[in-house]
Amino acid sequence: MAQINVNNLTFYYEGSFDNIFENVSFSIDTDWKLGFIGRNGKGKTTFLNLLLGKYEYKGTITTSTVFDYFPYQLSKADEKGCAADFMEQVKPGCESWRVFCELDKLKMDGEVLYRPFETLSHGERTKVMLAILFSSDNDFLLVDEPTNHLDKESREIIKTYLAQKKGFILVSHDRDLLDACIDHVLVLNRHSIEVQNGNFSSWWENKSRKDAFAQKENEKHKKEIESLKTAALRTQQWAEKSEQSKIGFDPIKEHDRSIAARAYIGAKTKKMQSRVKQMENRINKEIMEKEGLLQDIENPVDLKIFPLKHHKKVLCSIIEYGLGYDSSKEYIFEDLTMEIRRDERVVLSGKNGCGKSSLIKAVLKHASGNEAVQTSHIIEKGRMETAAGLIISYINQDTSFLSGSISKFCKERNLEESLFCAILRQLDFERVQFAKNIEELSEGQKKKILIAASLLTPAHLYIWDEPLNYIDIFSRMQIEKLILEYKPTMLIVEHDVKFRERIGTKEVEIKKI
């Protein structure tokens, strides 16, 4: 066992307005199963890159361990080849027999190492990379969001696999995965960093209690501040009144007062002013304590959505439907029968490659006003009918098409820019990010761009294809609360187990032929 010691770490990107980290200090052990939690854009991936020595920084990071990072960055040439050819290159000293052993634990046949990497599914690529990553016992592993785009079955396999390992930092926004795999958490709060024993749920419970206590203490401080301000104002008024009476008096009305009383009144006024100063100091101290209590509280603003009510109860009817690709002339699935009824939230499930996203595009194609969707490569059989005049708000799982400024994005989609930016702020989007082009943002921030656009678009049906990839845990909870409150009609593909369980009213499994 070794330690990683971080002392007074300060880092910022060239041209950035703010520090990503500022005088940060903490220590972690290299035999921990460490979950890394934080809002999008707070610096999780940046910290992993600092451990890898990719950037210069102020402060120190000291350790005797060697780091390795998932996912491996592969060239186009690597992707055209097979993993057996490039695994020694991405992980020097990698032994193929150990990779075979790890693949067996991931329930995969070793022959996958000899297939062109670009032909593998998301799940297969992830498992191959993890098998290479864990093929050595000596490295401390940095695992960055391994379950994005993976189906339920693949997530379960990886969850079981990681639960048996140790000596890693796992960056993930999947609460179910974090609960199953980690024994410590490293949390990037709003203004601090904490390391704590336990999994996500135990940390969240502790945080909720801590936040509730801070809120109560904050209310107590508020009352104390108001009380002190009232007392200070009253004492200040007395002091001013006393000071005004120090000089000059009417000998007829104040026959019992002499000129010698001036010194007594002056001393009394000075004492009162001293009390005011002490009260002001107490007020400032209380205010500082109050601000300190609330600096790390996660208190997400409630989001709003503007669903439209269609006059028909059934918005989409699919009967004995099959779908495939004209390139192969073969169907991915057949005999699918389902309905999307008003006020339902239908969750599509099934293995990667079973046709969930293709089905969504077929629905978009059949719906009125969505003919622009590129589905020319899809072949269909059976019946699909959508209600007339159906307005759909769609979130694509892909973000690669996003580019340009936020203003340009709003103009292209006919969105009110001020409202759009207000929703992004509610999703904890930093103001400084508004000045960047969208392609410069993190993947989680790009997803928030698409989610904000969908929330701002009134629709009868909201179709979201893997909307939560890269989205932080706190924003996921915000979106869950929004859906449960407004109950929009939805068709969703999402692999986050807890999210599906909470918001779904019906699950439809698509089985690949």
Homologous superfamily of the 3-190 domain (CATH): P-loop containing nucleotide triphosphate hydrolases (3.40.50.300)
- pLDDT value of residue 372: 45
Q: In percent, how much of the chain has pLDDT > 90?
A: 58
DSSP letter at 3 equals E
270 phi, psi to nearest 5 deg? -60, -40
Kindly report the number of other CB atoms within 10 A of residue 329's CB atom.
Answer: 8
Q: What average pLDDT does the segment 372-400 reach?
A: 84
What is the C-alpha radius of gyration for the chain, rounded to an integer number of angstroms? Answer: 30
Distance CA 97, CA 452 (A): 48
Distance CA 412, CA 410 (A): 5
Non-local (6+) Cβ contacts of 338 within 8 A are 318, 346, 508
Give the per-residue SS3 of 292-304.
HHHCCCCCCCCCC
Distance CA 88, CA 92 (A): 5
- The average confidence (pLDDT) of the chain is 86
In whole angstroms, how far apart are CA 357 and each of 177, 274, 392, 497, 508? 24, 72, 15, 18, 13
Q: Tell me: the pLDDT tens digits for 133-189? A: 999 888 999 999 999 888 888 899 999 999 999 999 999 999 999 999 999 999 988
- Span of 176-185, 245-254, 475-484, 494-503 with lowest mean pLDDT: 245-254
Distance CA 82, CA 146 (A): 20
Non-local (6+) Cβ contacts of 56 within 8 A are none
Distance CA 490, CA 507 (A): 12
User: In the chain, what are the domain boundaries?
Assistant: 3-190, 207-294, 314-509
Q: At 509, is the secondary structure helix, strand, or coil?
A: strand
- pLDDT value of residue 299: 65
Q: 16 falls in which pLDDT band (50, 70, 90)?
A: low
Q: Which two tokens stand for residue 137?
A: 């016992």
Non-local (6+) Cβ contacts of 291 within 8 A are none
Q: 379 falls in which pLDDT band (50, 70, 90)?
A: confident
Q: What average pLDDT does the segment 347-368 reach?
A: 89
- pLDDT value of residue 296: 59
Kindly report the number of other CB atoms within 10 A of residue 153's CB atom.
Answer: 15
Do the domains at 3-190 and 314-509 have one common CATH topology? Answer: yes
Non-local (6+) Cβ contacts of 182 within 8 A are 33, 34, 35, 170, 199, 200
Q: 259 falls in which pLDDT band (50, 70, 90)?
A: low
DSSP string, 386-439: E-TT--EEEE-S--TT--S-HHHHHHHHT--HHHHHHHHHHTT--GGGGGS-GG
Question: Over 90: is that where the pLDDT of 508 sits?
Answer: yes
Pairing type for strands 461-465 and 490-493 reads: parallel
Report the residue count for the chain. Answer: 513
Q: What average pLDDT does the segment 365-381 reach?
A: 69
Q: Tell me: the pLDDT tens digits for 85-104? A: 999 999 999 999 999 999 99
Distance CA 2, CA 61 (A): 13
Distance CA 337, CA 195 (A): 49
Distance CA 484, CA 218 (A): 30
The structure's pTM equals: 0.76
Of residues 359 and 148, which shows the higher confidence score?
Answer: 359
Q: Where are the beta strands (DSSP E) in 57-208?
A: 58-62, 66-70, 139-144, 168-171, 184-188, 193-197
Non-local (6+) Cβ contacts of 450 within 8 A are 395, 396, 399, 402, 467
Question: Over 90: is that where the pLDDT of 122 sits?
Answer: no
Distance CA 463, CA 364 (A): 9
Non-local (6+) Cβ contacts of 10 within 8 A are 19, 21, 22, 23, 24, 57, 58, 59
Of residues 449 and 191, which shows the higher confidence score?
Answer: 449
Q: Do residues 195 and 24 make contact, with C-beta atoms less than 8 angstroms apart? A: no
Phi-psi region of 443 (alpha: psi -120 to 50; beta: other; left: phi over 0): alpha
Homologous superfamily of the 314-509 domain (CATH): P-loop containing nucleotide triphosphate hydrolases (3.40.50.300)
What is the distance, to the nearest Å, from the Cα of residue 180 to the centroid of all Cα atoms in its chain?
19
What is the distance, to the nearest Å, from the Cα of residue 21 to the centroid of all Cα atoms in its chain?
18
264 membership: H or E segment, kind and range = helix 261-294
